[in-house]
Copies of this chain bind each other. A is one copy, B any other.
Amino acid sequence: MAKTEPSRCNLTALRKATRRVSQLYDQVLATSGLRGTQRAILVYVRRSGAPTMGELAAALVLDRTALNHNLKPLERDGLLTIIVDKNDRRSRLVRLTKRGEARLEESQAAWLKAQERFETAFGARQAADLRQTLELIASLEFDERALGSPAS
């Protein structure tokens, strides 16, 4: 009994791996002035154009209030704007600013370096497979399956 047996908790395993990988990515990204989560937000906004907050939150599997909080520093730093949707004044449209686009461009090299380090250690093929698995878990269909037949 030399080493401690690993935890059987799926959440604990996910958290531990996420912390380790966060440390790698955030360390490399630090020079660009963006955190991993912040970059993920900007990337989705750029891809989508002008998503609503709800749309953004769903895409990132983030609680709407968590997204709201996460957007604050980005808006404060002028990387994106949040404006009322004229067609539905309950909604807010999120858009990148020039500054936001520029920051995203600047972070690209660092992100690539982090990707390379991870995939050099873990394998590019394995990484692609893992991402697919994780996307499945993150998907709404999975959520419904996990909550669909509550054993309570």
Interface string of A18-60 (1 = CB under 8 A from B): 1111111100000000001101100110011000000000011
Cβ–Cβ contact A9 & B111, under 8 A? yes
Chain B residues whose CB sits within 8 angstroms of the CB of A11 once the complex forms? 18, 21-22, 25, 36, 40, 114
Shortest A53–chain B CB gap in Å is: 16
Cβ contact of A20, chosen from B43, B130, B137, cutoff 8 A: B137
Verify if A72 is at the interface (C-beta below 8 Å from B). Answer: no
Tell me if A87 is interfacial: C-beta within 8 Å of chain B. no
Nearest B residue to A27 by beta-carbon distance?
Answer: B147
* Chief secondary structure at chain A's binding surface: helix
The range of chain A's interface size is 35 or more
Among A55-98, those with CB < 8 Å from B are 59-63
Interchain CA distance A12-B37 in the complex, whole Å: 7
When distances are taken between beta carbons in the complex, the residues of chain B under 8 Å from A19 are 60-62, 138
A102-149 residues with Cβ-Cβ distance < 8 A to B are 111, 113-122, 126-127, 130-138, 142-143, 145-147, 149
- CB pair B151–A20 under 8 Å, yes or no, is no
**Interchain residue pairs A-B with the least CB separation, the first 6:** A16-B138, A17-B134, A121-B146, A121-B145, A13-B134, A13-B131
